[in-house]
């Protein structure tokens, strides 16, 4: 066993649940398609990885976690017992802090009242629902299994179980052929009156069904102008409805900002468990193999499921910190007057893609649309 004296202490854990009943047309995540999730095998593999992490001495879980996020895949496919089984893996005593944010993702069709009640009893206090759209035709195009009223039923199930902190995911930039009305989707999500909304822009990944369809000319590539217009429209509608646009893709009522995601944006350390999961113990970032069977088999055979790791050097860390900071409403410190960075950002302000607020510089929604190019511009030698 390694000496754990130098182990990175972590208060935030991500856990991957790999099972999905169907793979969506655009999905390139580390998922395994099965009618139901295998909660026993999942918990067994996670327990083996957690033990191995401790033996390696890179990470050490704190006595009380601050955030726990269960993503996927479709965690709700694992059923009512999933979060009790996970608590046993993590250590129930670590999940008793009064300020713990325990989020679990769910799809509307598998987030039943029974699942919601069992998860709440286990300690889950935040649910992220993968709605994506309320349009029946678009749902079929995506390969989603719930109907237009699925998100409302899921929100009601969460509320009945005492889970009021609910986030709803929507995807924008769908092709016109999907038949979806973006304004109607925005109206429906506002009607749900949930504390948090997350937006995801459609991307065409090469290995997905959508990627193959675009290559074969059966689907059009993403319309950049439509993508831009829908993103800006969402910002306009949701902020008018009382949500703060506090990060590139995130909107929240006051006090409902996602604390776990803020760990990533701040560059803090975190542990990831499960196939495809990433962990970060500055300056080391590591990630597991993406295939579920390969991940599980490695652990049961006493081998590490780690696929690769990298050391984030000083320059890469500085660039990453700049990018992560600019993607939030907090932005970065205002550059010194007369500096080259100040001249660059002054032009951004003139072009209305950024604003100065007291001693901070933050991007506007128009700026967030071109975040990557702005970060590179500010990072250029001499800037």
Record the pTM.
0.95
> 3-class SS at 222?
coil
| Average pLDDT, integer, range 182-186 | 98
Res. 118: pLDDT tops 90: yes
Interval 349-370: pLDDT, tens: 999 999 999 899 999 999 999 9
| Average pLDDT, integer, range 89-107 | 97
Our measurement of the distance from residue 62's CA atom to the centroid of its chain's CA atoms, rounded to an integer in Å, reads 23
Computed over every residue of the chain, the mean pLDDT equals 95
Interval 315-352: pLDDT, tens: 999 999 999 999 999 999 999 988 999 999 999 999 99
> 3-class SS at 293?
helix
Compute the 3-state secondary structure of the chain and give helix, strand, coil in percent, each to the nearest 5: 40, 20, 35
The domain ranges of the chain are: 4-265, 318-383
146/281 Cα distance (integer angstroms):
38
What is 4-265's CATH number? 3.80.30.20
Interval 133-174: pLDDT, tens: 999 999 999 999 999 999 999 999 999 999 999 999 999 999
Give the CA dihedral 303, 307, 311, 315, nearest 10 degrees. Answer: -170
Give the Å distances, CA to CA, from 260 to 99, 101, 177, 198: 12, 7, 36, 14
Res. 1: pLDDT tops 60: no
Instruction: Return the CA Rg of the chain.
Output: 21
Contacts of 282 (CB under 8 A, 6+ apart): 8, 267, 269, 312, 317
């Amino acid at each position: 066993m390694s000496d754990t004296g130098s182990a990175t202490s972590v208060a935030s854990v991500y856990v991957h649940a790999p099972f999905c009943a169907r793979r969506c047309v655009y999905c390139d995540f580390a998922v395994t398609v099965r009618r139901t999730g295998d909660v026993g095998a999942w918990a067994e593999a996670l327990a083996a990885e957690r033990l191995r992490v401790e033996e390696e001495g890179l990470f050490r879980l704190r006595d009380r976690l601050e955030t726990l996020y269960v993503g996927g895949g479709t965690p709700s496919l694992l059923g009512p017992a999933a979060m009790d089984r996970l608590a046993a893996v993590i250590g129930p005593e670590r999940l008793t802090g009064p300020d713990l944010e325990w989020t679990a993702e769910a799809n509307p069709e598998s987030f039943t009242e029974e699942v919601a009640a069992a998860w709440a009893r286990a300690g889950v206090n935040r649910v992220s629902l993968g709605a994506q759209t309320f349009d029946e035709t678009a749902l079929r195009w995506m390969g989603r299994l719930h109907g237009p009223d699925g998100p409302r039923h899921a929100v009601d199930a969460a509320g009945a179980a005492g889970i009021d902190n609910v986030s709803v995911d929507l995807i924008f930039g769908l092709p016109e052929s999907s038949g979806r009305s973006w304004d109607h989707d925005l109206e429906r999500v506002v009607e749900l009156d949930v504390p948090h909304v997350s937006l995801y822009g459609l991307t065409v990944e090469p290995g997905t069904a959508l990627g193959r369809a675009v290559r074969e000319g059966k689907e059009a590539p993403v319309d950049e102008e439509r993508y831009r217009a829908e993103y800006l429209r969402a910002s306009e509608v949701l902020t008018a409805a009382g949500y703060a646009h506090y990060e590139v893709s995130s909107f929240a009522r006051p006090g409902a900002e996602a604390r776990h995601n803020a760990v990533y944006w701040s560059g803090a350390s975190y542990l990831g468990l499960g196939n495809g999961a990433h962990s970060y113990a500055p300056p080391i970032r590591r990630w597991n193999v993406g295939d579920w069977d390969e991940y599980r088999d490695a652990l049961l055979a006493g081998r590490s499921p780690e696929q690769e790791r990298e050391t984030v050097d000083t320059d890469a860390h500085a660039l990453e910190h700049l990018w992560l900071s600019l993607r939030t409403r907090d932005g970065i410190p205002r550059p010194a007057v007369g500096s080259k960075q100040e001249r660059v950002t002054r032009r951004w302000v003139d072009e209305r893609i950024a604003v100065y607020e007291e001693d901070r510089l933050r991007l506007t929604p128009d700026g967030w649309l071109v975040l990557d190019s702005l970060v590179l511009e500010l990072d250029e030698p001499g800037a």
